[in-house]
Structure 1
Amino acid sequence: MIDGGFLAKRLSKLVSEPEKLTPYKVCGIIRSICRAHVKKLTDDEGGNWHRHIYRIFYYDAPPFQGQAHHPLTGEQINFGKSDLAKFQEDLFLLLRKQRNMALRLGSLSKLGGWTVQHERMAKLLRAKAAIDEIHAIEPAADGTVTLTAEAVADFRARTAAWHALEPWMVHLDLRQKGVDMRIGLDIASLTLKRLASTIILVAGDADFVPAAKLARREGVQFILDPLWQSVSDDLFEHIDGLQTVLKRTADKGQKGAAPANQQA
């Protein structure tokens, strides 16, 4: 079971040249991840690894089809015709043609307006204090305001994030709907119908804890592949194994992460 949104984010950090990823390469990576997990579980060196698999489930959401004006450039963007939308549509088409593959699609909704990532937003908001300090300075009789060299340097430092802001750093607030629910339902279905003895989940979200607990209570082995991302203690407690098979060529790892391939 592969969370497509999670996979896309991690691949941008794990591969050395993420801009060169194509739908064909991502499809190949998905197959190689599944093949490597099967090999580790079965010790089967043969090429017919599919015989050990019930299904490869891939979860994602169709690309957003709306339109909006970019707040920095004023450009009207048709998201349904963007490069990202074309990439996803081509990837979904490829996945539908793969052996033992089941594509599970939720939906993508616009929650609000435009936003930037949390870390960058914090830097942008720091400029407000500098602006407030300058605004509080009483102007001279001729309307001029005198600033010390230190004040000017401080203002420039705190407003540098605004000058560094690029259009690509600002994105529409879109959220997946129904993806986590589909993963949970499929885990429950596979478990209660005894369709698989081992479930491998490629994700990193603790929202799957109830489904993982159900699988383990019913005797199903539950292995998590977080693609080298750190795992919360709550999630780590309710899995049978932690194993990442994808080699990383760009990401240097994260401090505090539970080591890959460690048994829970």
Structure 2
Amino acid sequence: MSREIAILIDGGFFAKRLPKLVSEQHRTTAANVVGSIRFMCHRHVEKLTGDGDPNWHKHVYRIFYYDAHPFEGQAHHPLTNRQIDFGKSDRAVFQREMFDLLKKQRNVALRLGKVNRVGGWGLTGNRLQKLLATQSVLDAIDLEHPLADGSLNLPGDKVEELRKLQTQWGAIEAHHVALDLRQKGVDMRIGLDIASLTLKKLAKTIVLVAGDSDFVPAAKLARHEGLQFVLDPMWQKVNDDLYEHIDGLHSGLPKPRGTAPAADEVQEDAA
């Protein structure tokens, strides 16, 4: 039995993109997410082989899922003033349950790195940038020379800006503040597995579910050795210069609403 396809999934990227591609009811449980992974892999195998046989695993060498063990540390939240045990968080419990389910799936190999704390607390998104941009308002407050009644001296044109600053601070909620955590060892494991699959001739086609260009050196090696290399960006736009390093571009999950027809056509035609 020929098992010529290897599918490699960057779990962090998959988790980030999944809410954009499936409805909430299809990702509320660990079993739902694992089901989405299986569906995506099935679609890739069917696309590559043209075989609609329900026993699609006969074409699969292995499905590799890369992620990191949940962070187990504790930290004091600066906004809520509460101690957080990250190992007992809903996210950590969900991840562990999903990993346990993946281990039981046919032809699946789980590759787990770890999460390290590399810094302190910070604001998510561009909130910090917006707050820093209001420094001029604070500089305009004359703390050294208050008015006769003790009130602060603030130029009239800065009053409205100060109100906006107050609104921005008031809009910050606990979930907008996050600890600086970084995955370690995931990209390295992906690169090593691509090299191993290539040099040991364990597969003829590699499907990589990822969203950045860190894989390019490994993809070059695989293609140089005669393997087909297909990228699944989960309908995320990729840089034009990546096309020269892959043999196909195809997303296994259905396209989200609002995706431009041109993007759909490019992915299907290149697959």
Aligned amino acid, residue 157 of structure 1:
K
Report whether the alignment pairs 1:151 with 2:158: yes
Instruction: Give 3-state SS (helix, strand or coil) of 1:24's partner.
Output: helix
Change (3 A) 1:48 1:220: same
Asked if 1:58 is matched to 2:65, the reply is yes
State the SS of the aligned residue for 1:111.
Answer: strand
Q: Indicate the residue corresponding to 2:76 in structure 1.
A: 69
Aligned length, in residue pairs: 263
From the superposition, tell whether residues 188 and 166 of structure 1 become closer, same or farther in structure 2 (CA, over 3 Å).
Answer: same
The CA RMSD measured in Å over matched residues stands at 2.4
Answering whether residue 156 of structure 2 is matched by residue 173 of structure 1, we say: no
Relative distance call for 1:226 and 1:20 in structure 2 (3 A) is closer
- 1:192 and 2:196 correspond: no
Partner of 2:267: 260
Higher deviation after alignment, 45-54 or 108-117 = 108-117
Residue in structure 1 matched with residue 235 of structure 2 by the alignment: 228
Partner secondary structure for residue 268 of structure 2: coil
Q: Distance in 2 between matches of 1:18 and 1:148?
A: 53
Counterpart residue number, 2:116: 109
Structure 1: where are the runs of 5+ without partners?
none
Structure 1 residue 235: deviation in Å?
Answer: 2.9
1:78 equivalent to 2:60? Answer: no
Secondary structure of the residue aligned to 1:229 is coil
Name the CA distance, whole Å, in 2 between partners of 1:86 and 1:96: 16
The letter of the residue matching 2:253 is L
Whole-Å Cα distance in 1 between the matches of residues 27 and 200 of structure 2?
Answer: 41
SS at match of 1:157: helix
In 1, Cα distance between equivalents of 2:144 and 2:237: 47
Match of 2:210 among 180, 203, 212: 203
Aligned residues of 1:200 and 1:225 also touching (Cα < 8 A):
yes
| Higher deviation after alignment, 187-196 or 228-237 | 228-237
Give the TM-score, by structure 2 length: 0.89
Contact 2:229–2:248 (8 Å) recurs in 1: yes
For residue 251 of structure 2, give the secondary structure of its aligned residue in structure 1: coil
Q: Letter of the aligned partner of 2:173 in structure 1? A: E
Cα drift, residue 134 of structure 1: 2.4
Tell me the TM-score normalized by structure 1.
0.91
Q: Does 1:91 align with 2:91?
A: no
Question: How far apart, in 1, do the equivalents of 2:146 and 2:41 lie?
Answer: 68
Task: Select 1:244's aligned residue among 240, 248, 251.
Answer: 251
> Residue type of the partner of 1:117?
T
- In the alignment, the residues of structure 2 paired with residue 25 and residue 147 of structure 1 have an alpha-carbon distance, to the nearest angstrom, of 56
2:118 is the alignment partner of 1:139: no
2:15 to 2, 5, 8: 8
Write the letter of the residue equivalent to 2:86.
F
AA partner of residue 66 (structure 1) = G
Query: 8 Å contact 2:34–2:98 — kept in the other structure?
Result: yes
Identical aligned residues as a percent: 58
Partner secondary structure for residue 172 of structure 1: strand
Does the CA-based 8 Å contact 1:39-1:45 persist in structure 2? yes
Please tell me whether the aligned partners of residues 126 and 158 of structure 1 are also in contact (alpha carbons under 8 angstroms): no
Distance 1:197 1:230, change over 3 A: same
Change (3 A) 1:69 1:253: farther
**Which moves more between the two structures, 130-139 or 46-55?**
130-139
Contact 1:222–1:240 (CA<8 Å) still a contact in 2?
yes
Residues 228 and 247 in structure 2, CA contact (< 8 A), matched pair in contact too: yes
1:62 Cα offset (Å): 0.5
Structure 1 residue 226, shift from structure 2 partner: 0.6
CA distance in 1, matches of 2:233, 2:142: 48
- Once residues 148 and 107 of structure 1 are traced to their aligned partners in structure 2, the CA distance between those partners, rounded to angstroms, is 51
Q: Secondary structure at the match of 1:211?
A: helix
1:1-30 deviation per Cα after TM superposition (whole angstroms, max 9, x unaligned): 000011111113333327952100000000
Q: How far apart, in 1, do the equivalents of 2:252 and 2:270 lie?
A: 14
Letter in 2 for 1:204: G
